[in-house]
Amino acid sequence: MPDIAVYPGSFDPITNGHMDLIQRGLKIFDRIIVAVAKNPVKKSLFSTEERMEMLRVSLKDYSQVTIDSFEGLLVAYAKGQNARAILRGLRAVTDFEYEFQLAMMNRRLEPEIETVFLMTGLRWVFLSSSILKEAAIHGGNIEGMVPEIVYAKLKEKFGLR
């Protein structure tokens, strides 16, 4: 059986921080399923389909990575994919409390699936999709922080400097 991990998130949009984490994850798992959470409550800049398309293009060279989306309970989705683990990233201290709560809840709901945390590369420790969007919306140049396709999309939307 291949070791499969589900890497869930909003990916609104994917950043180099996410890319870094996926590359690290591939050293541990045979396959990673990057799963876009369809959350009707959370307001997103890009539609689910747009987010998935940016993920597909950014990760096209990684044959062990597949792109999917899911609704509802993450652990139920992960189990359905035969995943052994949920992959999450940790940045500076701020991520810890929320990620800890989430991991504990998921363990309670599905004890068979472990949450694995990886630390991003130092360059991306302070990079988040929300800060990135904030900068791009106001015309800030975010080149080098996101894959090419995301840069192009943001430029098209906001005409970056």
Return residues touching ligand ADP (CB under 6 A). 9-11, 15, 17-18, 21, 88-89, 91, 95, 120, 124, 127-129
Q: Select which of 42, 43, 108, 161 is catalytic.
A: 42
Cβ distance 54 to 13 under 8 Å?
yes
Q: Report the residue number, 38 or 159, with the smaller CB distance to ligand ADP.
A: 38
Q: Residue 138 catalytic?
A: no
3-state secondary structure the chain: CCCEEEEEECCCCCCHHHHHHHHHHCCCCCEEEEEEECCCCCCCCCCHHHHHHHHHHHCCCCCCEEEEEECCCHHHHHHHCCCCEEEEEECCCHHHHHHHHHHHHHHHHCCCCEEEEEECCHHHCCCCHHHHHHHHHCCCCCCCCCCHHHHHHHHHHHCCC
In angstroms, what is the minimal distance from the CB of 66 to ligand ADP? 16
Q: Residue 63 catalytic?
A: no
Q: Residue 42 catalytic?
A: yes
Q: Report the residue number, 86 or 159, with the smaller CB distance to ligand ADP.
A: 86
Q: Report the residue number, 43 or 161, with the smaller CB distance to ligand ADP.
A: 43
In angstroms, what is the minimal distance from the CB of 61 to ligand ADP? 20
In angstroms, what is the minimal distance from the CB of 150 to ligand ADP? 12
Query: Which of 130, 35, 24 shows the shortest CA–CA distance to 74?
Result: 35
Q: Residue 51 catalytic?
A: no
Q: Report the residue number, 4 or 87, with the smaller CB distance to ligand ADP.
A: 87
Q: Select which of 38, 56, 91, 107 is catalytic.
A: 91
Instruction: Give dist(CA 5, CA 151) in Å, integer.
Output: 27
In angstroms, what is the minimal distance from the CB of 11 to ligand ADP? 5
Instruction: Name the residues annotated as catalytic.
Output: 18, 42, 91, 129
